[in-house]
Structure formats: structure tokens, C-alpha cells
Structure 1
Amino acid sequence: MINKTAHRGAYIHIPFCDHICYYCDFNKVFMKNQPVDDYLDALALEMKGYGADGLPETIYVGGGTPTALNEQQFERLFIDIEHYLMNPSIKEFTVEANPESLNEAKLKIMKRFGVTRLSVGVQTFDNRLLKEIGRAHGANDAANAVRLAQEHGFNNITLDLMFALPGQTETVLHESLERALSLGIPHISIYSLQLEPKTIFYNRMKSGTLKLPGEDFEADMYGQIILELEKHGLHHYEISNFAKPGYEGVHNSMYWHNEEYYGIGAGAHGYWKGIRYANAGPVKKYIEHVCKQGNARVSEHEVTFTEKMEEEMFLGLRLMRGVSVEHFKEKFGRPIEQVYGKQLEQLKARGLIHERDGRLAMTPKGVFLGNNVFEAFLIS
């Protein structure tokens, strides 16, 4: 019998895009001439295998661009999700969408199949910057897409924004935040630009043609973001995430609480039964693997006891609430001070973490130096 209440999530990857953004290093391919229908066949087969092992409490469909699928393909995806993975007591069902490919028909499909949350990739409301980073939509397209979703009953919407973009000023950032807040959305995820190999921006940086803000300016922007969003009632609950009470991301919180989840689709990563695994990335290789073995795993790593404790710390400390001292002891059978006493003393002495109400969390100073905090627990 399938356990319908087991605590787990499912991430489903749609790698297709109508265009490639200059900063993106996710597993993605141009949509044109891709075997999309064959991919959906393989995706359904992989879903079937994991669904038989227990239905997830959360589902997150990401990409790539899930809304790049046409209406027929999009509906087929949700038919398969409903058949193989849908839990009657689902806690959260999120789908990523881009403004230029989100339309009324797709919103109706998502509503019919029980999607509870939309993640809209906006990045900025500045038209010049949108062109600079290779986005296909304009600022008004993004605002209109959000309003259309709201008209169709989607009130739990999160916007993805970016900062420290080429040529971005604090004024431009402020205007984007104000435009986002004016839409009445309850959640914002905001990330600084990261230069990753094999991206257009990385190549421009190497050639010296990409001008980026310095670290101090980036820190000033981050401080501005925290102040402005909290002033408008979106509390800072994770390093890069802000929400009105009750709208915190359930699926992503599962990652930060170091819980297990299925990773389904080309290039997806999963963590299941103590094993972290990665699927084949190229679409055709993914299809071949699933057809041969029922899943697409090309690498597996059994997480050691020490690694589980490390992950509990550096993932949990991303949350502003931090890590529960009592929960750590219950989970691992050892007091947290016994395992990480030296690191905790050093971080406290530097003013980067503190302990309150039985929880270890980053101080405001620690939030700005998060990588220094996380690295302290990587001792294996």
C-alpha cells in the first residue's frame, strides 16, 4: 500500500526554454526541434516509479521553463502528475512560469489540476536591465502576468528577483521592489547575480566586457532589500526569501530542513533513502536511461552520518530561525556542542551566530557573511 502521508517532496524538471538567459546555468535546452513528447513519456515513467514508493507532500515543477510547453503538452504533464504523484492532502504544489509564456489557458490547466502556488521569473522591472540579462519579457509583461494569475484565483504567488546586476543602481533596485510590492504578492525570492561557467555572462566576465557592482555595493543592496521588504510586511525567513506570515515556501523549506525528496527529470538532483543522486542531463540521454532502467540516475552518493550533520547545520542556518539544539540531539543522538563546540565558540566570538530560545541562528552580521558561517561546518 502506498503511504500517502509520508514526509517527502518531488521536484520535476522541465529543461525546455524558448530562449537562454545570459546568467542561467540550470540544465536547459532550446525548445525548437527537441523530442518534447518523448521526454514527457520518460518523465511519466520516472514519476510512476517514485510514486509507487510513496506520494509526496509537496510538488515543485521547475526548469528551464515549464510554461514553454504548449497547451497540449502542458496539460499532459499535469495529467501524469495527477496520476502518479498527486497526494489528496498535498501541502503545496508550485509551478515556475515566465511572463511571456504564461497565458489564460495554462492558468486554467494549473487551477484544474490543483496547483496552489506560482513562481514567476521576473528578475527586474527595469526594461533596460531585462534586455541586459537576456530576458524575453518586458516589465509590463511581468506585471500583467501576475495580475492575470490573480484574476484566475492564484493568490499565493512568489516573484523571483535579482540584484547586483550589470549597471544596476540602488534607485533602480528600489523601483523594482516597489513595482513588485504594488502587485500585492505575498512572497519574494531575491538573489544576487552569480557568475557560473558555461554562461554568456561568465564568458563576458573572462573577456573583461562585463561590468558588475563591487562586493561592498552588493552588500549595501542586500541591506536595502531587507529593510524595504520587512517595512512592507514581508519578513526575512531565509537568506534569499521574504514572505508575509503563512506564505513561506513549504517545498523549499524542506530542502533547508535537510529532508528527503524525489528529483525527477533531466539533470534533476534528488535525495532519497539516504542517497543523493543526479540524473542524466542531456535530454536524449535522460530518455534512454529511463527507458532502460526506469530512472535516469548517473551518479549516487550515500550520505555519511557526518555529512548529514554538516548538512543539517549549513542548510538549517540559512533559515533566520536557525537550527534547533533539541532537534539536532534527537535526530543524531549527540549534543550539538559535542560535535561542533569549537566552531560554535569561534562563530559566537566573531558575532556571526547566537543562541536564543534553544535555537542557533545567524546574527544580522552573520547574515551578510553567510558563506563564512556555512563553511565552518564543512569539516569532513
Structure 2
Amino acid sequence: MSVLRAPRALYIHIPFCTNKCHYCDFTSYVLKGQPVDQYLDALEQEMRRTTAELPPEEIDTVFVGGGTPTVLTPPQMERFLANVRTYFPLAANVEFTMEANPGTTDLGKLTAMKAGGVNRISFGVQSFDNGLLERIGRIHNVEDVYRSLDNARAAGFTNMSIDLMFGLPGQTALHLADSVRSALALDLPHYSIYSLKVEENTLFHKLYERNELPLPPEEEEFNMFILLMDMLKANGYEHYEISNFAKPGFESRHNSTYWRNEPYYGLGAGAHGYANRQRHVNLKGITPYIESAASGLPRLEVFEVSEEEAMEDLMMVGLRLLAGVPASRFAEQFGGRRLEDKFGDVINKLKTDGLLESVPAERDTIYRLTGKGVLLGNDVFGAFIG
């Protein structure tokens, strides 16, 4: 039997944006004309029902994503954050992250966020090239990035991260290097670097189907990833997860919950949650979500996660962390089961292929990606499926 406990992590989804980016397939809707206050009413109802059904212990991490949570007005922001504190007991050292788009964060809004308990901001910058930002459908420009960061510092924020993307249409390694240099000059404690994935139901997918999306060649994208790793490491950032780099002590604690396959609350339209070996997905449409939350939990789907699937999940997400997966973590989550008994053949093959290594630790063994394994991570993760 696995060891189960109440989540200590909380994800909340705010699904409104000023516009829809060309690559985005997240649950998000253009803000104009949307019933934002009714959505916040429904979100509070979901908070109340969720905490009644699964009473929380102390919450260590909160992550508010979207969409663009910072499209909320200061009064809406204050109300929303007050509800979070009302229904969820936050630890004294809670990591409370909110995603933000440059250009949607004036000083008044940031001050309301800080007063409401937010202590970490993740800015969706994507690039420091104005032409590239326009091509991918972002509404901000580079000047907005600097202004937003200045406002955040003025509001008292010190723990900030920015997202950058690579493999974008028309992007070259030289473009990327310029963006990384601009990002590093900001001297922030955390950077997330993501490759473009062309998802269905996006403008980019339509262009791709028509052969009108000038993506970099696969080899160029591969070289971009190596360039990113080299530049960030050379500037003192630890590559602690496939797509994430941090100064010591500034790793994302909330996202580490996912990578360790631990439970988390998931609230809001389209949100996912995981607790008591069950995953759920909420209704995605704004009106269906609001209507459903008036009478019950706004679920689209709830399904049991078998122990077999949970074991596979732990290895797939856990190996994204470059620190690796300790055998003791596997045993703790699965009632003393030995990782080697379950996945010994897979591990041995990956070690033979030079993609995985085992490292002895005190009364433990840690399995982690090699340098080659980092570059071919998807091959490693897929090896643990079924």
C-alpha cells in the first residue's frame, strides 16, 4: 500500500488573458466581456467545497497560473488573495508564486499582490527581441519587461523568475544568445527555459499544417538547448531541472511537488489536481465552470490512478530533476517497494546506453540522468511507461 496524505501544495487557475498567444493551448480566454467577478465567486465556492471534502494541513506552496492572473484589477486581486488565506492555512515560510505578463503589472497591482501574500513572481517574457515577440503574439515589448521588473522591486519583490522560449519561428542561436544575455543582466534568482511545442488548437498549428511556420531545424534547436545550458551554468545558475535554472536556494518549491509526484490541490477552470491516488480535471469553459460550482465541485473528469501508473509517473517526472530519484522516495511512496525490483531491467538498459547513472548515498541509491540523458530526456522518461 502507498502512503497517502493531504496535499501541501495548491494550484489555482485564472483563465483570463488580454489576448491569445499564437502558441498557447492552455485554458485561457480573452478578458474582454468575461464575467470575472462571477468567476471569482465560483472559485470561492470551489475553495469552500474542496476544503470541506479534503481538509488541508498547512500549505507550503501556492502557485497561481493562467491565463494571466495579473489581468485582475487591484480590488479583484485583493478579494481573490483574501479568499485563498481564508480557506487554506499557509505556512509561515510559504512560497506563493503568481504568473505575470509584462505590461499587466503596474505598481498598484503589484502592491496589492505583495500585501495579499504573494512573494514570488514568474514573468512570461519569452524573448528580448521585439520582432520575435510580435511574431509569437505577445502583447508586451522589451521596455515593458524592464518597467514591470522595476515596479516589482519597488513593491518589495526579490524572488522573481522569467520564462524564455527557444525553437521559435525565425529564431536563431544568435537571437537566443542575445536574449539570454539580456536576461542574465537582470541578475534574477531563477530562469525557466522552454522549447516551443506546436500544439493543436493554436494558430501555430494551423500555420504548421499549411507549411507556413518557419521553425528552426532540429539540429539548430538542439544546439540552442546546449547554448542555454552553457550560458546559465557559466553565470552561476544550477541546472536543477530539465527546463529550470536557479541560484542556490531559489529552486521552485511548488513545481518540485509535481516532479516528486506528490499530491496537490487544483482549483479553477481547466485545473488539474492530484490527491488520495485520484486525479481530477475541472470543466474548462467559464460559464460551465461557474454554473457547476454553484451546486458542487466543477469536475470534468475524476479517475483513479493505479499503483502501477503512479510508479511510472514518479520515474517520468522525478527524473526531470537533475538531482535524480532516490530509491528511498520510491519506497516511501509505495509502501516499502524496492525501485530496483520494479524497474531494474529498464534502469540497467538506460545505464548501458549511457543515459542514466546510479549514485550511492547514505543508506540510499540515487538514480539520475547523465549529461547525455539530459539531452535525450524524453527517451529516458518514455522508457518507464508500461
TM-score (norm 2): 0.95
Q: In 1, distance between residues paired with 2:269 and 2:196?
A: 24
Secondary structure of 1:91's aligned partner: strand
- The residue that corresponds to 1:375 in the other structure is 382
Give the CA deviation at 1:90: 4.6
User: For the residues of structure 2 that align with 1:331 and 1:24, how far apart are their CA atoms?
Assistant: 34
Residue of structure 2 equivalent to 1:47: 47
Amino acid at match of 1:373: V
Query: Counterpart of 1:26 in structure 2: which amino acid?
Result: F
Q: Which residue of 1 aligns with 2:321?
A: 319
Where in structure 1 are there 5+ consecutive unaligned residues?
none
Give yes or no for contact 1:91–1:250 (8 Å, CA) kept in 2: no
Opposite residue 130 of structure 1, the aligned amino acid is L
Q: How big is each residue's C-alpha offset from its partner over 1:295-319, in whole Å with a ceiling of 9 and x where there is no partner? A: 2112011111101111110110000
Partner of 2:214: 211
Residue identity in the other structure for 1:323 = V
1:305-337 CA distance string (max 9 Å, x none): 101111110110000011001222233222211
| 2-structure distance, mates of 1:164, 1:202 | 14
Q: Secondary structure at the match of 1:233?
A: coil
What is the one-letter code of the residue matched to 1:369? L
Deviation at 1:91, TM superposition (A): 2.2
Letter in 2 for 1:65: T
Contact 2:166–2:194, Cα closer than 8 Å, also in 1: yes
TM-score when scaled to structure 1? Answer: 0.96
Q: How many residues align?
A: 374
5 Å-filtered alignment, 1:208-357, equals 208-293=211-296, 295-332=297-334, 333-357=336-360
**Partners of 1:47 and 1:285 in 2: how far apart?**
17
Corresponding letter in the other structure for 1:362: L
Tell me the SS of whatever aligns to 1:99: coil
Question: What RMSD over aligned residues (CA atoms) do the two structures have, in Å?
Answer: 1.3
Can you give the 5+ residue segments of structure 2 that lack an aligned partner in the other structure? none
Distance 1:86 1:250 in 2: 17
Matching residue's letter, 1:10: L
Equivalent in the alignment of 1:80? 83
Report the alpha carbon displacement of residue 48 of structure 1 after superposing the two structures with TM: 1.8
Instruction: Tell me how far apart the structure 2 counterparts of residues 258 and 331 of structure 1 sit (CA, whole Å).
Output: 9
CA gap 1:296/1:195 in 2 versus in 1, 3 angstroms: same
Amino acid in the other structure paired with 1:122: V
How much has 1:88 moved relative to structure 2?
4.2
1:150 aligns with 2:176: no
Deviation at 1:86, TM superposition (A): 4.2
Q: Report if aligned partners of 2:281, 2:300 keep a CA contact under 8 Å in 1.
A: yes
Counterparts of 1:181 and 1:265, CA distance in 2: 34
* 1:68 lines up with 2:71 in the alignment: yes
Q: Does 2:35 correspond to 1:28? A: no
Cα shift readout 1:128-160 (whole Å, capped 9, x = no counterpart): 100010000001111221122122221100101
Moved over 4 A (4+): none
User: What is the identity, as a one-letter code, of the residue corresponding to 1:144?
Assistant: R
Question: Residue deviations 1:68-94, cap 9 Å, x none?
Answer: 112222221112112112414252000
Q: Which amino acid letter does the alignment assign opposite residue 299 of structure 1?
A: E
Percent identity of the aligned residues? 46
Please give the alpha-carbon distance, in whole angstroms, between the structure 2 residues aligned to 1:126 and 1:94.
Answer: 26
Q: Is contact 1:7-1:57 (8 Å) kept?
A: no
**1-structure distance, mates of 2:268, 2:368:** 34
What is the alpha-carbon distance in structure 1 between the residues aligned to residue 238 and residue 283 of structure 2? 38
Q: Secondary structure at the match of 1:89?
A: strand
User: How far does residue 260 in structure 1 lie from its aligned partner after superposition?
Assistant: 0.4
